[in-house]
Amino acid sequence: MRNVKIYWSSMTTRSASSNRNASRSRKLALPYTTVDVVIFTVLDDALQVLLVQRRGDGDEPFPGRWALPGGFVDVEADSSLEDCARRKLEDKTGVASPYLEQLGSWGSSTRDPRGWSATHVYFTLIPGQDVSLVKGANAADVAWFKVDEVLHPRGLAFDHDDILQSAVERLRGKVEYTSLPAFLLPEPFTLPQLQRMYEVVLGRPVDKSGFRTRMLAGRFLEEVGYADGESNRPAKGYRLIDRLSLVVFPRTFSPRGAD
């Protein structure tokens, strides 16, 4: 025998102030709304993440600390959350990545010292080579960091350690059964290169034969000439048939149900 409130509790409270279209001058305090982007790449055979150093002066929280790129939603400029995320990604990297996935949202009264805030987090994978140029042409406050070194010891601004942790788990999880790592390579790429991406992200070797079978069975790659080899047998070049969508394999790479 429980009781049930009939109307939306907050809704009711809110409409009691009887201003419908006014988005300013209200009674109820609104949380801050931000968007952050976790940008992964593989450089130097290591999984890396793009971080931005917060300003050391002024009155902003976490001065001088490194953080995920992101910021407040701009009601005038951003038409949607994904739109906002895409712009932040392009601002920092110059890359208009087609693949952008929502990771989740984090919101609480304590995560930002300025007040109640909620952030919508997206993540993406981009080819590292494309961006190194940008980084070189810039100052020290945008940089790639090896994920493992960022996570211990933890030290990012806000709750970005938690967010990054989640992103890495999601990434490693999905790599087991999707074609995600293909987004880490510039096209055209070879199967051995792609295999390397899987190995770097997963942190373990992958069998060559099984790997090739799987990739080709996925029907998401199309041949496009040969890569110019170094001094051995040249590998076939491939590119994604559809650079937007992800292929899901029917099984994971190695069933971990070993007990």
Partner DNA sequence: CCAATAGTGTCTTTCAGACAGTATCAC
Partner DNA sequence: GTGATACTGTCTGAAAGACACTATTGG
5 binds DNA (CB under 7 A): no
Q: Which is nearer to DNA, 164 or 194 (CB)?
A: 194
Q: Which is nearer to DNA, 118 or 227 (CB)?
A: 227
> Are 226 and 235 within 8 A, CB to CB?
yes
153 binds, among a copy of itself, DNA, none (CB under 5 to 8 A by kind): none
Q: Which of residues 26-65 bind a copy of itself (CB under 8 A)?
A: 28-34, 52, 55, 58-60
Tokens of 211: 């790997």
Q: Which is nearer to a copy of itself, 70 or 128 (CB)?
A: 70
Residues 6+ apart with CB under 8 A from 257: none
Question: Closest separation between CB of residue 200 and DNA, Å?
Answer: 15
> Are 50 and 69 within 8 A, CB to CB?
yes
Tokens of 87: 């712009």
Of the listed pieces 84-92, 119-127, 186-194, 239-247, which binds DNA according to CB under 7 A? 186-194
Q: Which of residues 113-172 bind a copy of itself (CB under 8 A)?
A: 113-116, 118, 120, 133-135, 137-139, 141-142
Q: Which is nearer to DNA, 119 or 179 (CB)?
A: 179
Q: Which is nearer to a copy of itself, 234 or 252 (CB)?
A: 252
45 binds, among DNA, a copy of itself, none (CB under 5 to 8 A by kind): none
Q: Which of residues 197-236 bind DNA (CB under 7 A)?
A: 207-210, 212-214, 229-236
Write the single-letter amino acid at 223: E
**Distance (Å, whole) CA 63 – CA 66:** 9
DSSP assignment string, 138-183: S-TTEEEEEHHHHHSS---STTHHHHHHHHHHHHHHHHTTBSGGGG
Q: Which is nearer to DNA, 116 or 253 (CB)?
A: 253
The closest alpha carbon to 142, from 77, 175, 93, 94, belongs to 93
98 binds, among a copy of itself, DNA, none (CB under 5 to 8 A by kind): none
The closest alpha carbon to 91, from 48, 165, 141, belongs to 141
User: b/e for 114-137, b at 16 or more Cβ within 10 A?
Assistant: eeebebbbbbbbbbbeebeeebee
**Distance (Å, whole) CA 158 – CA 66:** 10
73 binds a copy of itself (CB under 8 A): yes
**Distance (Å, whole) CA 244 – CA 239:** 12
214 binds, among a copy of itself, DNA, none (CB under 5 to 8 A by kind): DNA
Question: Closest separation between CB of residue 199 and a copy of itself, Å?
Answer: 21
Residues lying near DNA in the complex (CB under 7 A): 190-192, 207-210, 212-214, 229-236, 249-255, 257
